[in-house]
Structure 1
Amino acid sequence: MSNSLLSLVLLDNPVTPDMSAVAKVLRARHPELATEVGENGAVQQAQTNSPLIRCGNELVAVMSMPARIPDDAGLWSRAAGTWPESKSVAARHRGHLIVSVLGQNQRPLPSARLTTAVIGALIATMPECCAVVWNGRVARSAELWLDLSSRSFAPFPDYPSSLWVDILPFRSKTGIGAVTIGLSAFAGREIEFETHKLTLPTLIDKVDGLTVYLVEHGLVVKDGDTFGRDSRERFSARYKDSDRFEGLPVLFCTDGSS
């Protein structure tokens, strides 16, 4: 499982960020995070077109690219389910920023928190920002990212996992289901959850709760485990390749109907 989380901030027009301004906003939004713009030797370690910002003991690279990102119809179709304007925003962008924490063997959750905070500061200082594509899998509006990124360092379970993971509902032969997109970066698998007992809002709530738990703890639910609130609500979990989603490795959860 790769734990390098690379994110793209889409821009209506290509522009290079003022990293001093970004650092100032980052300090104001997250005073607990020691922040400064990388200088001298730190900058020389990266490409000249990839400014660095130091956050605590980590370096975050922000590379400005005067070009559109490659088209991905599936990405924007998924985003349109909760963000109807997503496809038009994607169509109009003319540049993007690449944002990533530098270094080997980065732990996914700390890296996600830091990257999310830096992106929030970029959006706060750059009116050209129009969307964020997280790790190539999840697209969100700049406005939503600016709002939720204020919780980048909130304790479990209040950090903004909805920026990192999509939960998509579907109909199954026996009822309804939902699948995650993006969880594998944290837990190595997605969740595919089918039920014939739960309502759709309850199902989404269950998947969201399990998603946040796995983001925090990793894939601690083992193949064959059961889980639930009490003895009356039990769900089974199996490791498998999805029959529905092109062999996607999933934690397949059911309420006993499958």
Structure 2
Amino acid sequence: MFGRKRQAPTPGTAGADRAEAPFSIYVLLSERLSYASHDVEAALAEDFPDLDWESGVLPDLPFDTATSPFSMLSCGAKLSVASITGGGPLPFAWDDLLPRNQLDPAVPEVQAIMASEAHLVINVTATGADIVDRVAAARHATAIAATFAALPIATGVVTGWSNRVIPAARLARTAQTIRDGGIPLLDWILPIWFTDPDAPEGHVSGATIGLAAFTGHEVEVRQSPLPLVESLTPLLMASTQILERGHVYADGDTLGHDGPDAVAWRIRHMKAGKLGNDTDRWVLLHPDSPFPDRKLLGRPGGRRTPPGLIKRQSSGETGWLRRRLVAFARAGAAPLQ
């Protein structure tokens, strides 16, 4: 399954748009915030020295969430300039986000998030469509957010591409993952569970929110006969293979561990609009799943995938993306091969 040169199926309009959109993170604050841009640049260069920052190339603009809610930060030659804005209404409702994130509104740190009186919006855009460009943009946006989240007045952050709500205290762990060159998978995507009206009783279905921001596709488990926690494993396994190993799936592939008790999950490609999905999805099917994939999706066509938005060579090695990201930071404007 690994090592073959593939092109991912072209996602539909919604997925393609998400795979080109800026990575936006909302930093929630308990009160008004003022700062100078060059102070933030200095903090980023000190806390995240392995990321590409260009200090001093932009004006040292004063920022205030109430009076001057705009500033910029340079993220190097291969990413757009990061914009930071403040003020305005939040584009989400806590009644929707908290249940999705399994957060209890009675918990004090969650109450603090909901009571925030100001916020920042951080936007970083990749200049290329390769997954390395997309991950690099997300890493820079996360690093900037973590720097602000370390302030005493920060209450939490919300990732705009996945609606993941993260209390401010937890961003220290996320920041360390970025420093170590890792992928903070569960801070970037949000696994959710949904009711499939056609599923037999006791079968669960779930999907990722946010993976499409990197590839144009989400991943889902459909009508799994396993308990919820066990059904979550292939969902995260597939997400990890895509983000950390740069793997490209084909319709009809299988996913699973080696060993006598291994379960080979079948992988089917579901186009946007099918069964109400707003983006293309890779559907993971347990061997005992009753989901009628051939009836609804046709015969697997994994060996004839059309040209994709994201083009890359899969290595199957965990450190593949980390090495590419290091090369990305060192290459500046030079294209990666």
Which TM-score applies when normalising by structure 2?
Answer: 0.63
What 5-or-longer segments of structure 2 have no aligned partner? Answer: 1-15, 62-67, 292-337
Q: Deviations over 1:153-200 (max 9, x none)?
A: 544xx4212111011235652522321111111121211113545443
2:97 to 59, 72, 75: 75
Superposed CA RMSD: 3.1
Give the aligned partner of residue 246 of structure 1.
276
Contact 1:187 1:219 in 2 (8 A): no
Alignment partner of 2:248: what SS?
coil
What 5-or-longer segments of structure 1 have no aligned partner? Answer: none
Offset of residue 17 of structure 1: 3.3
Give the aligned partner of residue 82 of structure 2.
61
Give the structure with higher Rg (CA).
2
Kindly tell me: are residues 96 and 181 of structure 1, through their superposed partners in 2, closer, same or farther at Cα, counting changes over 3 Å? Answer: same
| CA distance, structure 1, for counterparts of residue 126 and residue 217 of structure 2 | 24
Residue 28 in structure 1 maps to residue 36 in structure 2: no
Contact 1:7 1:133 in 2 (8 A): yes
1:236 to 260, 263, 266: 266
Contact 1:14 1:95 in 2 (8 A): yes
| CA distance, structure 2, for counterparts of residue 227 and residue 204 of structure 1 | 13
| CA distance, structure 2, for counterparts of residue 76 and residue 245 of structure 1 | 25
Contact 1:59 1:102 in 2 (8 A): yes
Give the aligned partner of residue 208 of structure 1.
236
Kindly tell me: are residues 93 and 163 of structure 1, through their superposed partners in 2, closer, same or farther at Cα, counting changes over 3 Å? Answer: same
Q: 1:85-104 residue pairs with structure 2 within 5 A? A: 85=107, 88-102=111-125, 104=127
Contact 1:6 1:98 in 2 (8 A): yes
Q: Which has the higher contact order (CA 8 A, sep 6+)?
A: 2
| CA distance, structure 1, for counterparts of residue 51 and residue 215 of structure 2 | 26
Matched-pair identity in %:
22
Offset of residue 74 of structure 1: 2.4
Kindly tell me: are residues 199 and 211 of structure 1, through their superposed partners in 2, closer, same or farther at Cα, counting changes over 3 Å? Answer: same
Contact 1:68 1:95 in 2 (8 A): no
Give the aligned partner of residue 70 of structure 2.
50
Give the aligned partner of residue 120 of structure 1.
146
Offset of residue 112 of structure 1: 0.6
Contact 1:117 1:150 in 2 (8 A): no
Give the aligned partner of residue 162 of structure 2.
137
Offset of residue 137 of structure 1: 2.8
Contact 2:234 2:256 in 1 (8 A): no
Question: Once structures 1 and 2 are overlaid, which stretch shifts more, 4-13 or 57-66?
Answer: 57-66
| CA distance, structure 2, for counterparts of residue 148 and residue 229 of structure 1 | 27
| CA distance, structure 2, for counterparts of residue 179 and residue 227 of structure 1 | 16
- Look up the equivalent residue of 2:269 and give its one-letter code: Y
Alignment partner of 2:281: what SS?
strand
Kindly tell me: are residues 77 and 89 of structure 1, through their superposed partners in 2, closer, same or farther at Cα, counting changes over 3 Å? Answer: farther
Contact 1:166 1:180 in 2 (8 A): yes
